[in-house]
Amino acid sequence: MDLHLILICFIILADVIFLALAGGFMYYIYRVRTKEIVKYALGTVNSLVDSNVNIDSFVYPCADIKPFAEKLKEISDILGVKEKHRKEVLNIVNSVAINMELTALLEDLLPKIIKATDSACAAFYMANHATNQLEIKSSVGFSKNLYNEFDMTIGEGLIGTSVKEIRIIDNLPDDSEFMIKTFLGKIKPKSVMIIPVLNADQLTGVLCLASFNKYQENQNEIVELIRYYVGISIGNAITYEQTKRLSNELRFQNTLIQNLNDDLEKKVDNRTVFLNNIIDSILDYGIYALDVDNNITAWNKGAETLLGVSKDDVIGKNAEVIMTPSDIKAGKLARKIEIALRDGRYEESGWMPKKDGSSYFSESILFPMYDNEKNCIGFTNIIKDMTYLKNVEKALGYEKEFTQKIFEITHQAVIVSSQRGIIEKANTTAENLMQEGSLVGKDLCRFFLEPEYLRQSLTDVAQRYGRGEWASVMRKDRRSLGFNVYVLMESGEGEPKLFLYLTE
């Protein structure tokens, strides 16, 4: 064979072997790199679902994967923030779930809301719809100046007007009451968030937050998430406080009757006379007792006065004799007893009819009585007449409506102020007469030459006389203005308001 041909064949064979080896090597490299990339991808994706895995601990298998890794890191950071917010919201929801008392609820809740929203301080104002006021109940981090705004009228002022939507205020005036306490002194916050808290579409209060930084969208989202739960919990806490007051009033009576029943179990005849004498002596409460067959066995004078039915007309008769036909038809007595046996008591409140056709607003509690063997031997019902408080609420509403009507129809200069002379309301005629654009919140006495004499005169009318009439000289232009002052109805436990007519 030709040597030249043999050499060519050898070269061709060597090339084939080299290409085969090179291909195998490249295939091996490809598989190794693919495995590294897949391993990195699986590891980084796992870090998104497992907070214990740190995405920064993974090394890029190649430079080509860096954009993917950076995007993945961005997603991981976003999910981390979302997870942090979720835990904080759950922490807040846990607070509203375990606290029934309003004071304890606010003490636990406000610091958690501060942390969740990156705030520096918080305060909660409770809505008192009977007086149309917002009353501060708790404050964390604010200076004591905040308590100067203890009573604010709903619908007026920075907080009073925030009763529907969340407001964020970034430019506070330098004299704002929202000052934050720090070791360096009082500092004005950069941003304040005012959050109306609702329960069943009714305003229960206003939550105020303040921060050294401007509030961002994520803080607003957290507030929107928790506002519903906070509203329900605060509404429940307020209801709990109201029922607790009634329960405390009735607890003594319950304990007294139960203890007497235990001590005199073996003296049935004497016990009945003794208990009836005690119950009859309690005139502020209507008290009656039932046996296990729902027959009335005791009926005190308070019940006679309250329901308008004498003891002789009810003793020995079924309790349905004092119920309305509609309640009898609905089986209300059986339902009340069932709940009392199950829960230890049955409580209700509302307008109830009397025998003479009139009605009263009552709060009542029905509870079972037991002997030493824990057998039910009857029931006691205690009724409290709350009509007076309801009438007070109506009177306050009538006072406000009457004052507003006068402001709307009169052509005279009219002002409502506190007994210290701080103006709470003024019509346009008064502002024109005083030559002042806005009078609300200002000290009336400072407009006149003898402010302290005028202030003392207002105090005397409020505390002793009920009405007064005099003239004072204005500081600005030496005009003499006549005053006719009357005391308005007092609002709750606050100081009386003064109604002033001004004439030139």
Q: What is the pLDDT of residue 492?
A: 46
Bridge partners, 60 (sequence order): none
In this structure, what DSSP letter does residue 488 have? Answer: P
Q: Left (φ > 0), alpha (ψ -120 to 50) or beta: where does 14 sit?
A: alpha
Q: What is the pLDDT of residue 445?
A: 92
CA nearest neighbour of 199 among 159, 234, 163: 234
Q: What is the pLDDT of residue 295?
A: 92
Task: Give backbone dihedrals phi and psi of 172, rounded to 5 degrees, phi first.
Answer: -85, 145
User: In this structure, what token pair is assigned to residue 22?
Assistant: 């090179």
Q: What is the pLDDT of residues 47-99, one digit of tens each?
A: 555 555 555 555 555 555 556 556 656 665 555 555 555 565 656 666 555 66
Helix (H) or strand (E) holding 389: helix 387-409
Q: What is the pLDDT of residues 220-272, one digit of tens each?
A: 777 777 777 777 777 777 777 777 777 777 777 667 767 766 665 665 566 66
Q: What parts of the chain have a pLDDT lower than 50?
A: 28, 491-492
388-409 burial string, b = 16+ CB within 10 Å, else e?
Answer: eeeeeeeebeeebeebeeebee
User: In this structure, what token pair is assigned to residue 142?
Assistant: 């604010």
Task: Give backbone dihedrals phi and psi of 170, rounded to 5 degrees, phi first.
Answer: -100, -20
User: SS3 for 187-206, per residue?
Assistant: ECCCEEEEEEEEECCEEEEE
User: In this structure, what token pair is assigned to residue 141?
Assistant: 């981090």
Q: What is the pLDDT of residue 491?
A: 47
**Alpha-helical regions (H) of 264-315:** 268-281, 301-307
The rounded distance, in Å, linking the Cα atoms of 291 and 22 is: 103
Per the CB < 8 A criterion, the answer to whether 215 and 189 are in contact is no
The rounded distance, in Å, linking the Cα atoms of 476 and 432 is: 14
User: Residue 36, class by beta-carbon neighbours within 10 Å (0-12 exposed, 13-18 middle, 19+ buried)?
Assistant: middle
